[in-house]
């Protein structure tokens, strides 16, 4: 589509945004409308319906933020050593960028809901997902059940319909020696101008560990003045462990007001993939089924 003039460019933005909405929910609506036909456990069906309601409400709110120009998901951000989003527009101001790292073994709707809530809470322009690679020499690393190639494929397919609000980064495949949470600092390195205000997204049960890992990496790189805001959402069944704030870097922490009530986790999802695949974004379900993934139950330690 070729548009000329400011009005036409704004119209193009909204056409693209609404097309993204349609792609993201056409398949999901089938699940939400026909839950009774899926032969799910009653609790699974209720959870799926609640997730659908939250995601739909949050996308409407994000649409309002974009309409009022409080956020700009169409901003260009480099998230890979090899490629850039050249189809998007160069930023003319500091970008408020969210990053969510992890093994994503597999990615699920809990991750999507965290990212959308963070966009609304902190007025983020976009959120980049950085699945980790295979890091056999990294301290405290526990391998996932699936190899990095498959985990990245699943994440990429899951996030496609939500682009450019939510984006996939292949940095984990490009840097197998860098930890999951540390990849956020690589995003900063790749985007020196006009500058990034970094927000790291995580669950309440992992905030201390992520702070520790990123703090260690910041010291290794000699960039102790780096400012990071942690955006944290508590989730049911995963209490926040006690930790001494005095031992942590002096970074700001924003707690999302609405807790995640379902207790979704990658470990729980792959325990019974035939039942829980419904909690994996529909774009990735075909990749899981084609690969025959997660048939063996619990993940390896």
Q: What is the pLDDT of residues 1-44, one digit of tens each?
A: 333 344 445 545 554 555 555 555 554 555 555 555 556 677 88
- Predicted pLDDT at 247: 60
- List the domain boundaries for the chain: 75-291
Give the tens place of pLDDT for each residue, 151-184: 999 999 999 888 889 999 999 999 888 888 899 9
Q: 75 pairs with which residues across the strands?
A: 89
| Separation in Å, CA 221 to CA 23, 106, 216, 225 | 41, 30, 9, 11
Range ranked top by mean pLDDT from 61-65, 97-101, 133-137, 221-225: 97-101
Mean pLDDT, range 171-200, rounded to an integer: 88
Average pLDDT score, the chain: 80
- Predicted pLDDT at 7: 45
Decide yes or no: CATH 3.40.50.620 for domain 75-291: yes
Name the pTM for this structure. Answer: 0.85
- Predicted pLDDT at 272: 79
């Amino acid at each position: 589509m070729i548009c000329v003039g400011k009005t036409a460019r704004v119209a193009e933005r909204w056409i693209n945004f609404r097309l993204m909405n349609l792609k993201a929910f056409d398949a999901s609506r089938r699940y939400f409308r026909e839950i009774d036909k899926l032969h799910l456990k009653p609790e699974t069906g209720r959870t799926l319906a609640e997730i659908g309601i939250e995601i739909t409400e949050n996308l409407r709110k994000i649409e309002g933020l974009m309409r009022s120009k409080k956020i700009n998901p169409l901003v260009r951000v480099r998230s890979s050593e090899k490629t850039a989003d050249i189809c998007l527009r160069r930023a003319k101001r500091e970008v408020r960028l969210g990053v969510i790292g992890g093994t994503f073994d597999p990615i699920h709707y809990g991750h999507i809901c965290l990212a959308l809530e963070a966009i609304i809470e902190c007025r983020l322009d976009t959120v980049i997902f950085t699945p980790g690679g295979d890091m056999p020499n990294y301290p405290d690393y526990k391998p996932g059940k699936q190899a990095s190639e498959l985990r990245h494929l699943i994440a990429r397919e899951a996030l496609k319909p939500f682009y450019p609000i939510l984006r996939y980064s292949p940095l984990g495949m490009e840097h197998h020696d860098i930890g999951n949470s540390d990849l956020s600092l690589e995003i900063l390195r790749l985007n020196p101008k006009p500058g990034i205000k970094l927000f790291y997204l995580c669950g309440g049960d992992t905030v201390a560990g992520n702070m520790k890992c990123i703090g260690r990496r910041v010291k290794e790189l000699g960039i102790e003045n780096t400012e990071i805001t942690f955006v944290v959402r508590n989730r049911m069944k995963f209490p926040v462990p006690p930790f001494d704030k005095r031992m942590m870097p002096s970074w700001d922490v924003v707690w999302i007001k609405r807790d995640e009530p379902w207790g979704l986790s990658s470990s729980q999802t792959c325990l019974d993939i035939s039942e829980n695949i419904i909690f994996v974004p529909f774009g990735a379900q075909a990749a899981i089924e084609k690969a025959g993934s997660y048939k063996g139950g619990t993940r390896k330690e």
